[in-house]
């Protein structure tokens, strides 16, 4: 079956669907939420600064918090100092992570200044970094790269080959340049070129927003796994949809009731765990979770104007009660895993 399993040494990723690391999004609550919806084989932390880890920065420590139910889990780090990166890598291994990943893809200016996709312009330094991290840890070591700095500096193939030579055990390829950022189309041909150039697993990433797109990615590149980034907050069911589509040729679209359960359950997790900035997270995710909801603009407006987490929950309940044309106030307390039953019972079938 397409993207059935990815093995990176002793790590079994099944199905071979990976949640991409995303700053401000993939914290422990969102990662567990995605896991509970099923279909995601590997989750990754937000990228963490090696410098912040060495200084024992509180933000870095928070980014690296996880629970056993999130396994297998990979921690992604960034930086440009080989010694500091190797020290940070050892710290990550000591924290019990299953894998470690090096960020060579972030296009943000503040990250490029000290790592990220900026390292794609200094391959000798990047080679030293690969070797130092590899010699520092025993857990599987992977890297996420872009196609290059610009259209005139496409380096995905030589970087992947160097990574393999240095002992990196898999590479994820986002086939846009740093100069592109997230604009334009992802050039899947580059993923294919990398796949044909190395023996280690290649993970495809970029412009996969539907199960059909994931299938097209595999047909075009024969990559070993698919990584989903920005599509996941807008459609957290995408991992389960891919699993169903590859097994049966069909998948279900969520109903309004499913979307209500999704929003209410995620918000409840934030409140129950007393997450810092919970109301900010609620407002942030309202912009994504309300896509596809009838009158979703009104729901977003209600959430954005709320002053407390309790007020957000009440407004969500009231909105959907009115949407379902009933006076009943819904108070769903089931864990997010219960979404799967309603998802299949009420969803709309897509071929």
Here the CATH number for the domain that contains residue 11 is 3.20.20.70
Q: What is the dihedral of CA 280, 273, 300, 265, to 10 degrees?
A: 160
Beta bridge partners of 16: none
The predicted model gives 139-143 an average pLDDT of 98
Does the pLDDT value for residue 144 go beyond 70? Answer: yes
Q: Where in the sequence is the domain holding 329, given as residue range(s)?
A: 253-350
Q: Are residues 64 and 168 in the same domain?
A: yes
- If you ran DSSP here, which 8-state letter would residue 347 be given? S
Q: What is the pLDDT of residue 58?
A: 78
Residue (of 132, 130, 202) closest to 163 by Cα position: 130
Residue 1 lies in a domain: no
Residue of 106, 166, 223, 348 marked active site:
106
Q: Is 106 an annotated catalytic residue?
A: yes
Query: Do residues 30 and 20 lie in contact, with contact meaning Cβ atoms separated by under 8 Å?
Result: no
pLDDT score of 175 more than 80: yes
Mean pLDDT of 238-247: 97
- Asked whether residue 143 falls in the same domain as residue 187, the answer is yes
Spatial CA neighbour of 136 closest among 166, 173, 105, 171: 166
Helix, strand or coil, per DSSP, at residue 205: strand
Query: How many CB atoms are closer than 10 A to CB 14?
Result: 13
- Region 232-249: what's the mean pLDDT? 96
CB proximity list for 225: less than 8 A, separation 6 or greater:
3, 6, 13, 16, 17, 18, 41, 201, 203, 204
Residue 277 pLDDT: 83
Domain count, the chain: 2
Q: What is the pLDDT, as a whole number, of residue 326?
A: 52
- What pLDDT, in 10s, does the model give residues 247-298? 999 999 998 899 999 999 999 999 987 766 899 999 999 988 888 888 889 9
> What is residue 114's predicted lDDT score, i.e. its pLDDT?
84
More confident call, 2 vs 60: 2
41 in the same domain as 134: yes
List the beta strands (DSSP E) in the chain.
Answer: 6-8, 11-13, 17-19, 43-44, 48-49, 73-78, 99-104, 141-148, 170-177, 202-205, 225-228, 251-253, 348-350
């Amino acid at each position: 079956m397409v993207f059935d399993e990815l093995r990176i040494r002793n790590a079994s990723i099944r199905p071979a669907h990976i949640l991409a690391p995303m700053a401000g999004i993939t914290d422990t609550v969102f990662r567990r939420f995605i896991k509970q919806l099923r279909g995601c084989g590997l989750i990754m932390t937000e990228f963490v600064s090696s410098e912040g880890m060495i200084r024992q920065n509180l933000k870095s420590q928070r980014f690296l918090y996880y629970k056993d139910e999130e396994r297998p889990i990979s921690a992604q780090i960034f930086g440009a100092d080989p010694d500091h990166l190797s020290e940070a890598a050892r710290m990550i291994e000591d924290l019990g992570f299953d894998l470690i990943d090096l960020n060579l893809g972030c296009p943000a200016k503040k990250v490029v200044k000290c790592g990220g996709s900026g390292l794609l312009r200094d391959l000798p330094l990047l080679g030293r970094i690969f070797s130092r991290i590899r010699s520092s840890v025993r857990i599987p070591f992977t890297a996420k790269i872009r196609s290059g700095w610009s259209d005139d500096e496409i380096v995905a193939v030589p970087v992947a080959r160097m990574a393999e030579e240095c002992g990196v055990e898999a590479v994820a390829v986002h086939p846009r340049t740093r100069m592109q950022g997230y604009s334009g189309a992802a050039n899947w041909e580059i993923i294919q070129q990398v796949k044909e150039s190395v023996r280690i697993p290649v993970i495809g990433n970029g412009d996969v927003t539907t199960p059909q797109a994931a299938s097209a990615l595999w047909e075009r590149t024969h990559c070993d796994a698919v990584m989903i980034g920005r599509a996941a907050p807008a459609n957290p069911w995408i991992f389960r949809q891919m699993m169903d589509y590859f097994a049966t040729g069909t998948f279900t679209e969520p109903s309004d009731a499913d979307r209500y359960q999704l929003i209410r359950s995620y918000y409840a997790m934030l409140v129950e765990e007393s997450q810092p900035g919970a109301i900010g997270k609620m407002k942030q995710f309202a912009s994504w979770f309300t896509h596809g909801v009838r009158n979703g603009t009104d729901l977003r407006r209600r959430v954005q104007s709320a002053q407390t987490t309790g007020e957000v929950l009440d407004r969500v309940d009231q909105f959907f009660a009115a949407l379902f044309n009933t006076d009943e106030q819904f108070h769903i307390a089931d864990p997010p895993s219960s979404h799967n039953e309603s998802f299949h019972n009420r969803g709309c079938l897509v071929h």
